[in-house]
Amino acid sequence: MFRRLFFALVLIYAVALILFLLIRWRVGEPTPVALVNRFLPLILMPSLVLLPLCLLGRRVRLALLLVPAVWLFGADYGPLFLPNADPPVDAPRLVLATYNIGARTTLIEPLIDTMRAVDADIIALQEVSQQAATQIETGLAELYPYMALHPHESMFLGYGLLSKYPITDDYAYPTETDRLRLQRTQVDYEGVPVTLFNFHAQPVTESWRSPDVMVRRRQVWQLLDEADNVSAARILLGDFNLNEQSDDYAAITAGYHDAFYEAGWGMGFTNPVWVDLEQPPASRDLLGMVPPHRRIDFVFYDSRWQAARAETWPQSGGSDHLPLIVELAFTG
């Protein structure tokens, strides 16, 4: 009885996945598809176990129904478990980090300790509150002599950049349209001008509005339009609130490289880390059992760079995001 029920559930799972993939192929990524895309990596993972179980159970036709899911997972995530090409040894290196600090207004010192431990050359921050900006300015001034912080009274709209290299230009885009959170900063990297776009996209779902993927899409389009107007070496980094299943990710990677995809290992999940939040959504004991399961923080770069290393930092410092650290080699 249990065996028949198990394979019946596998059949439902396989058919539902095939139908979803066919719909996505036909209609693209409207909001309902985007809601599923957010969790598609996790949805695909069981197929890696179910297909061999079906073969062991001599359910060959059922195993064939699982092939599309296994193939998609292997095509999209298989390279993350393979060795990466090394950049030229003599190429200068720039270490960057992107870190959504979780709109904290208290217990900011653990966030600062995390930034100090990461010790990247440049750190892009999202969700910077007024309180966090004040403590970062005093607590990290010696390590990061150049700062461009734009805190906001609505702490979810704040952002900023910390740099060991001179900041030669900085512009914070107005937030009035679609709550755009975008910062364009130019640094002098050993005599080379480098333009960084610190970006924080609107998520598809938020508690105060109905789900809408088009808000994020318009923001991604504006980011790419602004980056296209820059002739200097470019790096786009931040909390993009999307994953590699999204059409918006495809639009970005049509012109830029994903550093973790090129030089990371594993799934690279950075969110959510709920256990140390100021106001956790459930008991901390329960939340501590839920590991990060979404990769939404990214560093993208243009053809003048090559990724040498990409990894997530093991501690969140009290944020709901893990920092993403990337080492880029400047190949010109």
Residue 281: predicted pLDDT: 63
Q: How many CB atoms lie within 10 A of CB 142?
A: 8
**Strand partners of residue 93:** 329
Residue 277: predicted pLDDT: 67
Spans in the chain with pLDDT lower than 70: 276-285, 287-288
178: left (phi over 0), alpha (psi -120 to 50) or beta: left
* Domain 93-330 in this protein, CATH class: alpha beta
Instruction: Provide the residue ranges of all domains of the chain, joining segments of one domain with +.
Output: 2-81, 93-330
CB of 185 within 8 A of CB of 170?
A: yes
Q: How far apart are CA 21 and CA 43, in angstroms?
A: 12
Residue 2: predicted pLDDT: 83
Residue 280: predicted pLDDT: 63
Write the CB contacts of 176 (distance below 8 Å, at least 6 apart in sequence). Answer: none
pTM (2 d.p.): 0.94
